[in-house]
Amino acid sequence: DAKTTQPNSMESNEEEPVHLPCNHSTISGTDYIHWYRQLPSQGPEYVIHGLTSNVNNRMASLAIAEDRKSSTLILHRATLRDAAVYYCILSVPTDSWGKLQFGAGTQVVVTP
Amino acid sequence: DTEVTQTPKHLVMGMTNKKSLKCEQHMGHRAMYWYKQKAKKPPELMFVYSYEKLSINESVPSRFSPECPNSSLLNLHLHALQPEDSALYLCASSPPSRAYGYTFGSGTRLTVV
């Protein structure tokens, strides 16, 4: 199964942008790139996902490299509530839909 | 309703007990999942149900027994667990397409004594 590689941790100042990198060099053509975040004592929360094109939503932006071997999650203005573990995950196809297999994730620390 | 509801939130059970975890969603999602998460580790996939049928079992020991009685409900039956099975058990659901994200519940914190 395709795997992802992320930095263990990143620190950001409040109201600054945060760029979270993810490498997935073994990605297949049909694998979706998902990002989830998890706050302490909570379940993972969907952030964004994409296949080939860059994606934007109210929470974040996802920039996907042209060769799809890497991607970057962009939080435009970090707040203290954005402090969480961020997981970059490949959705591996099984039958009709995918199977999410989590990597180690990046701990994001936001300082005031 | 855009939530996945898991009950109970906390559970303490002995190694000879039988207990069940419950997961419910009313979003019409036809895929449902059980994950296990140990402290400071990422979630690990256990089971996948699609259209109420078990489609993936990630080599989970038989002391964990999943059940999907209908399209809104997913259970995880527990029997003869070990202390190392103590973890956060997460349920998730998704539409039957990889073009959509998953919705996770907040989990059941299980302690086996």
Q: What is the pLDDT of residues A7-57, one digit of tens each?
A: 999 999 999 999 999 999 989 888 899 999 999 889 999 999 999 999 999
Q: Collect all residues of chain A within an 8 Å Cβ-Cβ radius of residue B59.
A: none
Q: pLDDT band at residue A5, thresholds of 50, 70 and 90?
A: very high
Conformation bin of residue B98: beta by default, left when phi > 0, alpha when psi is -120 to 50: alpha
Mutate to test the interface with A, among B25, B102, B106, B108 (most CBs of A within 10 A): B102
pLDDT tens sequence across A61-90: 999 999 999 999 999 999 999 999 999 998
Q: What is the pLDDT of residue B99?
A: 78
Compare all CA atoms of chain A with the CA of B102 and give the residue at the minimum distance.
Answer: A46
pLDDT tens sequence across B37-91: 999 999 999 999 999 999 889 999 999 999 999 999 999 999 999 999 999 999 9
Compare all CA atoms of chain B with the CA of A43 and give the residue at the minimum distance.
Answer: B106
Spatial contact of A22 and A70, defined as CB atoms under 8 Å apart: yes
- For tokens 């027994």, the residue is B65
Q: Collect all residues of chain A within an 8 Å Cβ-Cβ radius of residue B55.
A: 94-95
- Amino acid residing at B98: R
- For tokens 């941790």, the residue is A9
Mutate to test the interface with B, among A100, A106, A107 (most CBs of B within 10 A): A100
Spatial contact of A22 and A88, defined as CB atoms under 8 Å apart: yes
pLDDT tens sequence across B14-32: 999 999 999 999 999 999 9
Is the CB of A102 less than 8 angstroms away from the CB of B43? yes
Q: pLDDT band at residue A94, thresholds of 50, 70 and 90?
A: low
Q: How many residues does chain A have?
A: 112
DSSP annotation of A1: -
Query: Which residues, other chains included, contact B77 with Cβ-Cβ below 8 Å and sequence gap of 6+?
Result: B18, B19, B20, B64, B65, B66, B67
Chain B contact present for A32, CB below 8 A? yes
Question: CA A102 to CA A112: how far, in whole Å?
Answer: 29
Mean residue pLDDT of chain B comes to 94
Chain B contact present for A34, CB below 8 A? yes
Spatial contact of B66 and B75, defined as CB atoms under 8 Å apart: yes
Q: Collect all residues of chain B within an 8 Å Cβ-Cβ radius of residue A41.
A: 106
Question: Residue B42: helix, strand or coil by DSSP?
Answer: coil
CA distances from A47 to A38, A62, A67 (A): 10, 10, 22
Q: How many CB pairs under 8 A join A and B?
A: 63
Spatial contact of B80 and B15, defined as CB atoms under 8 Å apart: yes
